[in-house]
Structure 1
Amino acid sequence: MKCLMSLCFFCCVFLQVQAQQPTTIQEIKTDSVAQKLLQYLAHKQADSAYTLAGEAFKKALPHDTWIAVCEKQLYGLMPFRNISFLRSKNGINKYKMDGIVPLQLLISLDNTDKIQVFLIQPFQDDTRKKVPSATDNAKQTSLDKTVDTLLENYINTLGNVGASVGIYINGKDYFYNYGETAKDNKQLPTNATLYEIGSITKTFTATLLAKAVIDKKLHLEDAITKYLPDSVAANTDLQAITLQQLSNHSSGLPRMPINISFTVTNYLQPYENYDNAALFAFLKQFKATRKPGVTYEYSNLAVGLLGVILERIYNKSYEQLVLEQIAKPVGLNNTKITLTQQDSTLLAQGYNEKGEAVPAWRFKSLAACGAIKSNAADLLRYGKQQLAVFKSPLQAYNQLAHQPTFSDGVQKVALGWHFLVEDADVVWQHGGGTYGCRTMLCVNEAKGIVVTVLTNNATNGDALGIKLLQALERLK
């Protein structure tokens, strides 16, 4: 087995899933490419398989070495049997399979959808906790059992600590909690437990943008330079970018500003020192690599900048805007950025991918991309405000924020909200992730279902939210 233990090279294998199924776009892309690879390997066509490899693969494993690996190792192990998907973490899918001995595969693609990571090694049964985690789920109704089918497996996976779930279905609210607010504290979360909601914050920013449009403070097609200091607006590479493109991730701005690394003094707090001076310095030097409005590229920078522009328009901080224009009108009493001492006692301790405790993020200029904290009760209430039937005080803004503004056949985006269903504009969602939390909010307008999942672990709680929505859609 020595060769298997050291066999860490960049490739991928298609899996006939027997248990859970990959559901996110990236997981599906990986399986699609991997299916081609498996076909090539099954026919011992190593050269063809190599055409699916990315640059990192080729650099780490030259062609001749790849051929030797296939002939001396892979072909002897195939066919793989009883392959099952276990989980996805950091973009890497983990699977279990039967071979000469039980094996596990770790697989991912690079950002060009080429094969990147493939690690094959003896199976390590590290997925279940020795003692099942606590829950307030009574497991009596069909809804209880549907929730528990997904949450029980999730919370009893090593590394996962706590989860709070809010569901609106058939005209009623339901809440379920699992695990602990901090490792070994024996304290079950409640619907009042606070979590970082990460990028779900971007939907709040989209609502504020829509309100500004309806208030006639701006137009979606306005160039961003109209609202920036003259020294920044002078950069011609910014002048074709619109406010709408900041919100739907088609602006051409990168995911993060390059100069943010120069402001970091604590690696656990990547945003806390990034202020307007640093932001404007980046924008002055920005050089466009693509035409705005054409390509989707998820950007924390773009939405953070949108928040700064809204601050400049209203002459108020981003947090003030959220509290005054969204939270207070609809009664989100525990949705905020700055926590009081009492709030802090309700904040779930977050844990990173290594299971280490990490602090909640602090923000300056990029707050609009991910700074909000909330709980299951508030986030479910916020999700319900997206449904027309509730006639929310935010209804006019929400209607505008829900209108599709970009689609490339893979991603379909409104203002901040992303669509789950390409052909029916009725399911909106947004996930969130920080160093210590993963969250998801899904809204199915057609079926009147809202789902929010909040977790204090940097694993796959966001994907869990989508799976739960799909399960509830089948249940209804």
Structure 2
Amino acid sequence: MSRTSTRRLFAAALLVASVLAPMAVAPAPAVHAAGVDRHGQEDCPPGGLGHEVNARLDKAIADVREEAGIPGVVVGLWMPGKGSYVRATGVADTTTGEPMAADSFVRIGSETKTFTVTALLELVDDGLVELDDPISAYVPGVRNGDRITLRHLAEMRSGLFPYTSDPDFDHDLLSDPHRSFTPQELLAYGMKHKNTFKPGATFEYSNTNLILLGLVVEKVSGRKLERFIERRVLRPSHLRNTLFPTGSEFPEPHPRGYTDQTLSGETEDATDWNPSWAWAAGGMISDLHDLRRWARIVATGELLSPETQAQRLKTLPTGFPGTTYGLGILETNGWIGHNGSLPGYETVTVYLPSKKATLVVMINTDSLSGGQEPSTLLARAITEVVTPKNVYAGAVVPR
């Protein structure tokens, strides 16, 4: 597999250079659920967003699903004072035709970064670390580690080579996608390569950064990353259906996940691939309503001090129009949050402060359409209907 396709496989991003043949999409009836607030969030009147808007959203989602060959889609949109829109369309299993369900669990890929960086920022608020500490103070052996800070890592401006772009990593994972990787094994793939630029010079999306931050959280807290996130992030946020698996475990119900990121290039079922290769950068699982709550928590800084949240939201250019990046968070034409992509699944979870609106998209494929992430195509089409002055551009990442 080429370096370009390797990078496309593992980063949560938008623009790459492959055009894929769409998978057959079996029709399924839409499922509509009212915006029930089971987590004490802003009230969204039930009954959708009005017949005309609902119809436009239905068509926009159906058009993208057909064009991009997406088997199944779950969309949740909550707009306080206006209403809510929840739809599950398509199939969770292309073999059985089982319909997609709105209460499904999915692998959230790089949305995990928002949890890992939140954990780090809580340690900042605890006075145990500083964002401008060098990574060498916590993890030895990092090239230029005395000049690369924790801030550089969280901002994707470290210059460290992305381990997921290493051909040996690509081959090792795809040869045995059920194997387990340790953080040290992952870092070794990236550390074989020279740094790509001086710290802070520019933006480059690199999962290497997040593996290092995960190790920092573990060293400073004295806990496994998974346990620290559960105790300090998930519990206070009341995210009861969000978890950090240690292997390929996957709660029911969940859709099958389909990917063409394989050694053969053929589409395969990646549902039970072991996500340990993504760990602090992309290994977590969640559901629609937990992601709804998390979107607001991340964007408003509910778990952090105002000073730390202000630093988190100081986003910098990525080199792609409409999208900037902060501390493990993106801002795209007003929407704040992150997207996620790993073999078989993609998600988008974003919050629009100006309207207190939340958008969550979950799909069961990561196969590109016209060189773009299908979840991005969906989020863009949805926001063109409901927030035309704030159209989702997406997390654009150089590959």
| CA displacement, residues 101-154 of structure 1 (integer Å, 9 cap, x when unaligned) | xxxxxxxxxxxxxxxxxxxxxxx9x7985x633211499623422321221113
| CA displacement, residues 441-464 of structure 1 (integer Å, 9 cap, x when unaligned) | 122111211111000012312331
1:279–1:434 CA distance, 2 compared to 1 (3 A)? closer
**Aligned twin of 2:38:** none
- CA distance in 2 between counterparts of 1:287 and 1:340 reads 31
Q: Which moved more, 1:289-298 or 1:173-182?
A: 173-182
- CA distance in 2 between counterparts of 1:394 and 1:203 reads 13
The alignment partner of 1:147 has SS state of helix
Shift of 1:213: 1.0
**Aligned twin of 2:28:** 133
**Aligned twin of 1:437:** 345
Q: Which amino acid aligns with 1:419?
A: E
Q: Answer yes or no: is the 8 Å Cα contact 1:128–1:157 preserved in 2.
A: no
Aligned residues: 349
Partner residue of 1:239 out of 146, 158, 168: 146
Q: Answer yes or no: is the 8 Å Cα contact 2:249–2:272 preserved in 1.
A: no
Is 1:322 aligned with 2:236?
Answer: no
**Aligned twin of 1:99:** none
Shift of 1:366: 4.3
Is 1:378 aligned with 2:290?
Answer: yes
| CA displacement, residues 201-247 of structure 1 (integer Å, 9 cap, x when unaligned) | 11112211221111111111110000114xx26x5x22211111111
**Aligned twin of 2:181:** 274
Q: Answer yes or no: is the 8 Å Cα contact 2:164–2:170 preserved in 1.
A: no
- CA distance in 2 between counterparts of 1:355 and 1:263 reads 17
The alignment partner of 1:195 has SS state of strand
Alignment of 1:146-157 (within 5 A): 146-157=56-67
Q: Which amino acid aligns with 2:328?
A: G
**Aligned twin of 2:331:** 419
Q: Answer yes or no: is the 8 Å Cα contact 2:341–2:347 preserved in 1.
A: yes
Partner residue of 1:221 out of 123, 132, 145: 132
Partner residue of 2:88 out of 177, 199, 208: 177
The alignment partner of 2:362 has SS state of strand
- CA distance in 1 between counterparts of 2:345 and 2:14 reads 21
1:401–1:465 CA distance, 2 compared to 1 (3 A)? farther
- CA distance in 1 between counterparts of 2:180 and 2:249 reads 25
**Aligned twin of 2:39:** none
1:136–1:309 CA distance, 2 compared to 1 (3 A)? same
Q: Which amino acid aligns with 1:403?
A: L
**Aligned twin of 1:469:** 383
The alignment partner of 2:251 has SS state of helix
Q: Which amino acid aligns with 2:383?
A: L
**Aligned twin of 2:317:** 407
The alignment partner of 2:174 has SS state of coil
Partner residue of 2:359 out of 442, 446, 451: 451
The alignment partner of 2:78 has SS state of strand
Shift of 1:317: 1.7
Is 1:253 aligned with 2:160?
Answer: yes
1:239–1:392 CA distance, 2 compared to 1 (3 A)? closer
1:136–1:337 CA distance, 2 compared to 1 (3 A)? same
Is 1:205 aligned with 2:116?
Answer: yes
Is 1:291 aligned with 2:202?
Answer: no
1:314–1:397 CA distance, 2 compared to 1 (3 A)? farther
Q: Which amino acid aligns with 2:30?
A: T
Taking only aligned residues, the RMSD between alpha carbons, in angstroms, comes to 3.4
* Structure of greater Rg: 1
Q: Taking structure 2 as the reference length, what is the TM-score of the superposition? A: 0.76
Q: Which amino acid aligns with 2:378?
A: L
Q: Which amino acid aligns with 2:206?
A: S
Q: Answer yes or no: is the 8 Å Cα contact 1:335–1:378 preserved in 2.
A: yes
Shift of 1:350: 0.1
1:325–1:351 CA distance, 2 compared to 1 (3 A)? same
Shift of 1:402: 3.7
The alignment partner of 1:244 has SS state of helix
The alignment partner of 1:344 has SS state of coil
Shift of 1:333: 0.9
1:294–1:375 CA distance, 2 compared to 1 (3 A)? same
The alignment partner of 1:345 has SS state of coil
Shift of 1:306: 1.1
**Aligned twin of 2:281:** 369
Shift of 1:262: 5.6
**Aligned twin of 2:8:** none
- CA distance in 2 between counterparts of 1:149 and 1:395 reads 42
Q: Which amino acid aligns with 1:244?
A: R
Shift of 1:465: 1.7
The alignment partner of 1:446 has SS state of coil
Q: Which amino acid aligns with 1:221?
A: D
| CA displacement, residues 314-336 of structure 1 (integer Å, 9 cap, x when unaligned) | 12122112211221111111111
Q: Answer yes or no: is the 8 Å Cα contact 1:385–1:394 preserved in 2.
A: no
Shift of 1:376: 1.0
- CA distance in 2 between counterparts of 1:157 and 1:287 reads 40
The unaligned stretches of length 5 or more in structure 2 are 1-12, 34-47, 261-265, 368-373, 391-399
**Aligned twin of 2:254:** 347
